């Protein structure tokens, strides 16, 4: 989900609280910025925060939120929200994905092999492999290692079920920060 300056309907009708909410979020990024609690009252803390932001943004320092200040606040706020969004996910396998058998050469095998390689660096029981796009012996052995870990038949084929299992293992052992595992 991408946020734009047109997505601020919660702020309509509450201009002071809206300014304070945006200032607070921006202030979380900058230690020097005076902190604001969104209370709906345009007091000295809010004015100080607005002045700090105006100076930071190269705007005239008035302590008043004019159109240029508001537009710049929203641009900074939207940029911060975009930084917090998780990276976009892509679908690696085509929707009409079919089973990859040992010995086959397929373009979509390369990202699968890259994932297997990453997993092998985290799990000693998974054989390392080269990323070739060919389901060669090393690739098949890596797949069988995963199948063995999961207590599944060790046939070495890559099908949708294997992909789903591999995705789960990757998420747990590679893509999550270590403190969440």
Say how far apart CA 46 and CA 16 lie, in whole Å: 9
The DSSP call for residue 127 is P
Domains and CATH numbers, the chain: 9-84 (1.10.101), 109-180 (no CATH)
122-157: b (≥16 Cβ within 10 Å) or e: eeeebbebeeebbbbebbbbbbbbbbeeeeeeeebb
Tens-binned pLDDT, residue by residue, of the chain (181 aa):
344 445 555 556 789 999 999 999 999 999 999 999 999 999 999 999 999 999 999 999 999 999 999 999 999 999 999 888 887 888 888 888 889 999 999 989 999 999 999 888 888 888 889 999 999 999 999 999 999 999 999 999 999 999 999 999 888 877 765 545 4
Say how far apart CA 53 and CA 47 lie, in whole Å: 10
- What pLDDT was estimated at residue 21? 94
- What pLDDT was estimated at residue 4? 46
- What pLDDT was estimated at residue 66? 95
Note the pTM of the prediction, 2 decimals: 0.57
């Amino acid at each position: 989900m991408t946020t734009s300056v047109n997505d601020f309907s919660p702020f309509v009708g509450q201009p002071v609280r809206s300014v304070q909410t945006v200032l607070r979020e921006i202030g979380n990024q900058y230690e020097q910025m005076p902190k604001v609690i969104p209370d709906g009252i345009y007091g000295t803390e809010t004015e100080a925060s607005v002045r700090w932001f105006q100076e930071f943004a190269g705007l005239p320092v008035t302590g008043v939120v004019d159109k240029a200040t508001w537009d710049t606040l929203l641009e900074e706020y939207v940029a911060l929200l975009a930084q917090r969004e998780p990276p976009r996910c892509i679908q690696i396998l085509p929707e009409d994905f079919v089973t990859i058998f040992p010995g086959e050469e397929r373009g979509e095998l390369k990202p699968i092999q890259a994932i297997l390689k990453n997993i092998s660096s985290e799990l000693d029981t998974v054989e390392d492999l080269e990323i070739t796009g060919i389901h060669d012996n090393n690739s098949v052995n890596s797949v069988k290692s995963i199948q063995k870990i999961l207590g599944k038949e060790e046939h070495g084929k890559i099908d949708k079920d294997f992909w789903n299992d591999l995705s789960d293992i990757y998420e747990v052992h590679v893509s999550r920060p270590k403190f969440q595992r």
